[in-house]
Structure 1
């Protein structure tokens, strides 16, 4: 079996999901806290718990944390529980040697005794100066129905942010902002058209934006509603 480090970042980390592209902005409390945590890690263990439902942007914050850590020369990994759950708790072995560990969707292990115990033990091993841990889940720790009370307690140790789900206005603004960062002009009208005609899942919308970006460059055309309709066959 591949090591956890080989299974993670190189294939699952979107390189455009940075703090700068976060829909809440770089000045948001959660971004400021995560950036400061990386800067302060040598003064003590830095742990952050991010909770929110789908399309809240919590996974984006994990990706951004890893990218920021890499730019600082730190060793890092992002574990998506959706991707590694079936590999079993052994994927956590050796991760305490890294500087920064991000774990997405930890709520998926709730009720799995082996995983809960492994996460609790990892938390204890990783809890030392110079380390930074960021965990996401859909709910607060006391609402996850964990079978191991000690794990629930550990998950409450750090700073917790409840991230609200993105509204349609937020998603439209995020699409326009992400397009601008690519050097692509997407009008508010076009962004809202995409939201009304396609899935409102933000990852799916960003995949569509990527397709439109390539099509626009190939055709040397601006993004208009007729061009979008033709490209996406709507």
Structure 2
């Protein structure tokens, strides 16, 4: 389970290779990205713990993966775990993770009501709490709202820096699609991006999958992305 590579297999979905701070819809200069980057400098002298709170479409998972990529680029050992994937497994899988430099955990709220997982997470936190370590967790709820039964763990979760990340608006998603397309060398107008949002799922992961399909079709047919071309390609 220990790896210098982000653990994509531990996620509910396989994240694209371009899930980085640069491609984050809030921009590299957003407060949360600036904080996470700065945490890598601060961890040299102090343990760094950040708690991200937001709904599914807020981009929390993007930030977790981007943090792992950022760590890997700096030669740091890292792992990304999704509680959706591992909650049914033995909590002992957390044993030994303290040997890593950066640990990211998604959907932390799912451990609430699972005493063994709560205790295992508390023990891991205590083992990991030292300089040169960075812990980043994400949850749908704030620390005092996830009904953790172990008071000591609830207390630990409040020790770090907490960010409440707002959900992406349709304008945010359109801009994110345009930005992601540009990173791939693909020109997607804001009008085309808005068209996709009105005709397809507003889930960013699904929209990025569509962008992959359009990118491939554009290259094969040597066509620019226009609304008529999108309609034909996606049978809209």
Check 1:157–1:69 CA distance in 2 against 1; reply closer, same or farther (3 A cut).
same
Match of 1:17 among 7, 16, 19: 19
Check 1:6–1:36 CA distance in 2 against 1; reply closer, same or farther (3 A cut).
closer
Match of 1:233 among 225, 232, 235: 235
Question: Given the alignment of the two structures, is residue 209 of structure 1 paired with residue 223 of structure 2, yes or no?
Answer: no
Question: Given the alignment of the two structures, is residue 52 of structure 1 paired with residue 50 of structure 2, yes or no?
Answer: no
Unaligned runs of 5+ in 1: none
Partner Cα distance (1:194, 1:90) in 2: 44
Equivalent pair of 1:176/1:186 in contact (CA under 8 Å): yes
Unaligned runs of 5+ in 2: none
Over the aligned positions, Cα root-mean-square deviation in angstroms equals: 1.5
Aligned to 2:107: 105
SS in 2 for 1:77: strand
Partner Cα distance (1:8, 1:112) in 2: 26
How far did 1:4 drift? 5.9
Equivalent pair of 2:108/2:138 in contact (CA under 8 Å): yes
Q: TM-score, normalised by structure 1?
A: 0.95
How far did 1:84 drift? 1.6
Equivalent pair of 2:6/2:78 in contact (CA under 8 Å): no
SS in 2 for 1:87: coil
The number of residue pairs the alignment matches comes to 232
Aligned to 2:119: 117
How far did 1:231 drift? 1.2
Equivalent pair of 1:47/1:134 in contact (CA under 8 Å): yes
Aligned to 2:193: 191
How far did 1:178 drift? 0.5
1:94-119 deviations in Å (ceiling 9; x for gaps): 11000000001101111111111111
Please give the residue correspondences for 1:93-172 in structure 2 after superposition, counting only pairs within 5 Å: 93-172=95-174
Q: TM-score, normalised by structure 2?
A: 0.95
Aligned to 2:70: 68
Partner Cα distance (2:132, 2:42) in 1: 8
Partner Cα distance (1:73, 1:13) in 2: 21
